[in-house]
């Protein structure tokens, strides 16, 4: 893999500490059967919006970094906003779309992953976990 894929920003993001929520409103675990990545997301809700996120990620550096961005950026957002962000990131990776802007602009750090199809799921797995949890509302 190219050094541009594992750049310093992703290394720093992946190194951010994880923490589970003590009493989440929702919690889900998803696995990537292709590579063995596993992400558990805990969600606290307030009025249908994400008020807090806890995470446990047993996965590659890219998945860990994506989960770190998700856990701080999804605060204050509802299920539709999270789904829209996930779709924008999917388009960035798979179709050469532009990086998300606004709240999700930090996901531009994952643009080099677009060249590695087998790693797209690593970026998207935390979003899949959060979308799955929010679908239980």
Find the CATH number of the domain harbouring 61: 3.90.1010.10
Which of left, alpha, beta for 11 (phi over 0: left; psi -120 to 50: alpha)? alpha
For the segment 55-69, the average pLDDT, to the nearest whole number, is 97
In a domain, 3, yes or no: no
In a domain, 38, yes or no: yes
| DSSP helix/strand/coil, 1 | coil
- Give CA–CA dist 84/89, Å, rounded: 9
Domain count, the chain: 1
The candidate with the shortest Cα–Cα distance to 11, out of 67, 64, 53, 58, is 64
pLDDT over 90 (residue 18): yes
- Give CA–CA dist 101/54, Å, rounded: 24
The more confidently predicted of residues 19 and 3 is 19
In a domain, 16, yes or no: yes
For the segment 95-101, the average pLDDT, to the nearest whole number, is 89
**CA distances, 1 to each of 5, 78, 97, 134 (Å):** 7, 35, 22, 34
Check if the beta carbon of residue 40 is closer than 8 Å to that of residue 27. Answer: yes
Please report the pLDDT score of residue 3 as a whole number.
Answer: 58
The candidate with the shortest Cα–Cα distance to 92, out of 53, 118, 61, 120, is 120
Q: How confident is the model at residue 6 (pLDDT cuts 50, 70, 90)?
A: confident
In a domain, 35, yes or no: yes
What share of the chain in percent tops pLDDT 90?
A: 86
In a domain, 106, yes or no: yes
The chain-wide mean pLDDT, for the chain, equals: 94
In a domain, 2, yes or no: no
Range of the domain at 47: 8-134
| DSSP helix/strand/coil, 50 | strand
């Amino acid at each position: 893999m190219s050094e541009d894929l594992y750049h310093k920003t992703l290394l720093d993001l992946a190194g951010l500490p994880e923490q589970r929520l003590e009493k989440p409103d929702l919690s889900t675990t998803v696995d990537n059967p292709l590579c063995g990545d596993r992400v558990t997301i805990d969600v606290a809700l307030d009025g249908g919006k994400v008020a807090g996120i806890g995470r446990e990620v047993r996965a590659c550096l890219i998945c860990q970094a994506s989960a770190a961005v998700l856990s701080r950026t999804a605060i204050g957002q509802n299920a539709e906003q999270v789904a829209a962000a996930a779709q924008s990131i999917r388009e960035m990776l798979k179709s050469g779309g532009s990086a998300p802007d606004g709240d999700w602009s930090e996901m531009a750090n994952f643009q080099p992953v677009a060249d590695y199809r087998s790693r797209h799921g690593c970026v998207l797995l935390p979003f899949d976990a959060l979308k799955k949890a929010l679908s239980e509302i």
